[in-house]
Amino acid sequence: MLDALLATPAVLRLVDLALEEDLGRGDVTTEAVIDRDATATAQLVARESLVLAGLGLCTLVFQRVDAEVVAAESAKDGDRIAAGTAVASYRGRAASLLAAERTALNFVQRLSGTATLARAFVEAAAGSRLRIADTRKTTPGFRLLEKYAVRVGGASNHRCDLGSGLLIKDNHVAVAGGVRQAVEKARGRAPHGLRIEVEVDSLAELEEALAAGADVILLDNFSPADLDRAVARTGPLPQRPLLEVSGGVTLRRIPELARAGVDIVSVGALTHSARAVDLSLDIGINGPGQ
């Protein structure tokens, strides 16, 4: 069933928009080939190893097309699924299953791809305290869903929108006149419950951030040598600010960053570069009495 966190008006609108995109003018192939009263059963099958995400959304699509479709989910979001495993079945009018097929697969393939990639990053950091986080580099309209898939994969969400966290980026720094000035202005104006995070791109800017009392310091595109210097300069927790790393982070670099002693790595690739994994729908027409 659909996760309660996804049962929002925005998600329902997105599903309806996707169905309108595919079914707005009808399904002429199905109407020409399939008898109106034919019934069928479809199995959703993983064609490769993956971490499942968006299964309830897939079911929602089928039942949005036809409320009489009966779903039986045999796995849940977050499960690691072996290739060849059926994770759900759908029974109902054959025309309804065929009409919903592509839209349902688009959602579950995309979200499972994000969850699978997130799990790979989390496993690369296993045994350390390094936290893997996403970014706002999401597909327009899909942010809630993609950030949900990141969590399903075991990683963490960074800001969900511009109102959910205070992050002073390089362009804020440029307009404010410097790292220290930006942090001090934020300290005087921001809601008291928000931590102040600032992005720095050099050791000199790191010194400004420390002097201004930033709560979190984002080390952007630091070389390995400068990253080691930054960690050594700030000292151990809990006396120092949290240290986050961003900028071109690959899966291969995660063990190195975990050893370096930073706290968070934000990875835009979790959402902007995850590929859709291979799930397919195998449909069979029911016989008499089925």
**Which tops the pLDDT comparison, 61 or 190?**
61
Handedness of CA 135, 137, 138, 141 (dihedral sign): positive
- Catalytic residue numbers? 102, 137, 169, 199, 220
Q: Tell whether the model's pLDDT for residue 207 goes beyond 60.
A: yes
Q: Which domains does the chain have, with CATH numbers?
A: 4-121+275-285 (3.90.1170.20), 156-266 (3.20.20.70)
pLDDT digits (tens, 9 = 90+) for 112-158: 999 999 999 999 999 999 999 999 999 999 999 999 999 999 999 99
End-to-end CA distance of the chain: 24
Q: What is the 3-state secondary structure (H, E, C) of the chain?
A: CCCHHHCCHHHHHHHHHHHHHHHCCCCHHHHHHCCCCCEEEEEEEECCCEECCCHHHHHHHHHHHCCCCEEEECCCCCCEECCCCEEEEEEEEHHHHHHHHHHHHHHHHHHHHHHHHHHHHHHHCCCCCCEEECCCCCCCCCHHHHHHHHHHCCCECCCCCCCCCEEECHHHHHHHCCHHHHHHHHHHHCCCCCCEEEEECCHHHHHHHHHHCCCEEEEECCCHHHHHHHHHHHCCCCCCCEEEEECCCCHHHHHHHHHHCCCEEECCHHHHCCCCCCEEEEEEECCCCC
AA letter at 268: G
User: Residue 242 contacts by C-beta under 8 Å, 6 or more apart in sequence?
Assistant: 215, 216, 217, 263, 264
**Mean pLDDT across 242-269:** 96
Instruction: Write the pLDDT tens digit of every residue in 14-38.
Output: 999 999 999 999 999 999 999 989 9
- pTM to 2 decimals? 0.94
Quick check: 289 pLDDT over 70?
no
Which pLDDT value is given to residue 290? 54
pLDDT digits (tens, 9 = 90+) for 216-241: 999 999 999 999 999 999 988 888 99
Assess whether pLDDT exceeds 70 at residue 288: no
Mean pLDDT computed over every residue of the chain: 95
What does the pLDDT read at residue 2? 75
Q: 215, 242 in Cβ contact below 8 A?
A: yes
Q: What are the b/e assignments for 49-73, b being 16+ CB within 10 Å?
A: ebbbbbbbbbbbbbbbbeeebebeb
CA diameter of the chain? 78
Q: Is the dihedral of CA 261, 266, 268, 270 positive or negative?
A: positive
Q: Across-strand partners of 211?
A: none
